Amino acid sequence: MYNNEMIDFVGHQKISKTCPVQKGGYLSCLEETGIVPLTEGLSAVSLANERLSVLELRGQAQQTREFHLHMEDCCFLLMFQLRGNLFLGGSICVGTERYGGCNTSACPLYCRLDAGKIWSIVFGLSNRRIEEIQHEWPLFGIQAQADNRVTNLDNTILHNIGYRHRQIFDKIQQIQNGPYSTLIKLEYQFMRLLELYHADLSDASKSKDLESVRIYRLAIDYILKHYMDADIDRNTIADKLSVSVRTLNRAFEGKGNNVTQSIRLIRIHKVRELLRTTDSTFDDIAFQLHYMDTKHLAKLYIKQFGYSPTMERKKRTKGDMEN
């Protein structure tokens, strides 16, 4: 089914269909029956069926244009920006030669185009096959949601459009218009683009994991050197490592202890070391490590080692007498 109602410009009526249209796009197989002028200088070609929706927007925007993208039957959008800037939801900018995906909603997606040359291609996956899609491409993060769900742009990761993507688009441009085969060929090439996107997400995830490991090691090294500082906390460490507190916290995920717990653990072991190697009282040791509440520190000590600081000191005294 050809669909010419995917774009609804805000505060602007569509111009007459007798105005010139922009041909020569990658979806040339749809131009004969599916291309329409949208507003002065911009044209679109689109197609939608029960499994796939696709839209190509091309032309010269005379001014900034705001519009709603109607792909409500899709659970996931894959957007390619070949020219110009496309803003999604007023927050995410898909710039020239960039692409990315996002989970969609039952509501139209608000978009904005900058003035200038525009070339955008959007593919949408039908929400009728959510479970199968998520099983095959888990990194997309697609989940079944209620009818009042909203578009999730928080996890949108943008990538560069590369040579492999261009090769696939060249294949799409070579597709001939046919009543039966056109859609099948489009779906096949779209599946290839999805595979590339999933691979890009996997590479980004691995790179992100390596960066988290690096940040974690730097943070632990900093704690080991500065645990005696009175002001050491998540904010201080994040500032010293030139990362956000959120990024720092994420680096500690799955490590057994968060940032605050790691500082506390190192300090507790230092308490034991001082009890074993010095004659300082427990109160003095607590003061050195910036614990104002000695009773609380004693409880932490017991929780960590299974016996009290007093027992630790007695064990040392007993050892000294035996020697």
Q: What would the pLDDT profile of 143-172 be if each residue is shown by its tens digit?
A: 544 443 434 455 567 889 999 999 999 999
Domain span(s) for CATH 1.10.10.60 in the chain: 214-322
- Model confidence band, residue 320 (pLDDT cutoffs 50, 70, 90): low
Statement: residue 202 has pLDDT above 90: no
Residues of the chain with CATH 2.60.120.10: 7-206
In this prediction, residue 203 has a pLDDT band, given cuts at 50, 70 and 90, of: confident
In CATH terms, the fold of domain 7-206 is Jelly Rolls (2.60.120)
CA distance 39 to 80: 21
For residues 190 and 193, what is the distance between their CA atoms, to the nearest angstrom? 5
Domain at 214-322, CATH class: mainly alpha
Question: Under DSSP, is residue 252 helix (H, G, I), strand (E, B) or coil?
Answer: coil
- The band of 107, judged by pLDDT with boundaries at 50, 70 and 90, is low
Distance of CA 97 to the CA centre of its chain: 19
Q: Where are the alpha helices (DSSP H) in the chain?
A: 31-34, 130-136, 163-173, 181-226, 234-241, 245-251, 259-277, 282-288, 294-305, 309-322
pTM assigned to the model: 0.64
Residue 167 C-alpha from the chain's centroid: 26
Average pLDDT over residues 279-299: 91
* Rounded Cα–Cα distance for residues 123 and 183 (Å): 13
Question: For residue 154, what are its two tokens?
Answer: 């928080």
